[in-house]
Amino acid sequence: GNSVTQMEGPVTLSEEAFLTINCTYTATGYPSLFWYVQYPGEGLQLLLKATKADDKGSNKGFEATYRKETTSFHLEKGSVQVSDSAVYFCALDTDKLIFGTGTRLQVFP
Amino acid sequence: EPEVTQTPSHQVTQMGQEVILRCVPISNHLYFYWYRQILGQKVEFLVSFYNNEISEKSEIFDDQFSVERPDGSNFTLKIRSTKLEDSAMYFCASRETGLTDTQYFGPGTRLTVL
C-alpha cells in the first residue's frame, strides 16, 4: 500500500546550519508529494509541493525534489532560522493525504 | 486570501456525548476532507467527501462518525457517542478540483473527551 517514512526527530540545529529531513515513500502510480509545516499550537500549512518526477518545490528557502528513482522527497534548507522551529510532515496525495510521522526541528540561536 | 475555517477551536465533552465539529471550506472548492491528529502523533485521514457523498473513509471512521454538508458552505463531522480515544485535533481540508490541487487545511478543533 501507499506509505511515507520520515526520519526520526527531533533534529536540533544551530541557527544558519544546513537542514536535511529525509522522506521516502511507497506508492502505486505517481502521486503528488508535499511538505507541510506545523508551528507550535497551530494547524497545518503547506510549505511546498511537487506534482511529478524531477519537479522541485521551493518556498521560504526550503526545497525538495521529487526523485522517482529513489522514491524520495527530502526537505532541505541552506541556512535555518530560529523561526523555522516546527514539526515538518511529508505527505503523498492519492486523493487522501498520507502523512509521515513528522519530524520536529529545533533551531537554537 | 481565502481560507478554511473551523469552529469551535476547542471542545470539551463528556464521554458518551455527541459532538459536531464545523468547517467552512474555501468557497469554490469541491472536495472536502477530515483528518485527525492524536497528540504527538501523525495526521490520519478520516473521510473524503465529494458531490454530497462520501468518496472514501478510513477504518477509523466507523458508525460513530458521520459527515454532512447541510448547506452550501458548511461541512460538519459528527461523533455520536464520544470515547476517550476520540480526544485529538481534528482538521478539515478542502481542495478545488483534481489530484494536482493542494489541500488547504483549517486551524483545527481540539476535542477533549473526559
Contact A95 B43 (CB under 8 A): no
Residue of B nearest to A51 (CA): B100
Please say whether the dihedral angle defined by the alpha carbons of residues B48, B53, B59 and B60, taken in this order, is positive or negative: positive
- The Cα–Cα gap between B100 and A65 comes to 16
- The Cα–Cα gap between A27 and A104 comes to 24
Position A35 pLDDT exceeds 90? yes
The alpha carbon torsion through B88, A24, A3, B43 (nearest 10 deg) reads: 10
Residue range B12-36, pLDDT digits in tens? 999 999 999 999 999 989 999 999 9
In the stretch 77-96 of chain A, residues with CB closer than 8 A to chain B read 89, 91, 93-96
pLDDT band, very low/low/confident/very high, at B101 (cuts 50, 70, 90): confident
Q: Region A76-83: what's the mean pLDDT?
A: 97
For position B73, what pLDDT does the model report?
87
Q: What are phi and psi of B15, to 5 degrees?
A: -55, 135
Contact B35 A97 (CB under 8 A): yes
Our CA angle for A99, A1, B111, nearest 5°, is 35
Position B42 pLDDT exceeds 90? no
Burial zone of A64 (CB within 10 Å; 0-12 exposed, 13-18 middle, 19+ buried) = buried
Q: What are phi and psi of A70, to 5 degrees?
A: -110, 5
Position A41 pLDDT exceeds 90? no
For position A11, what pLDDT does the model report?
96
Position B99 pLDDT exceeds 70? no
Contact A100 B107 (CB under 8 A): no
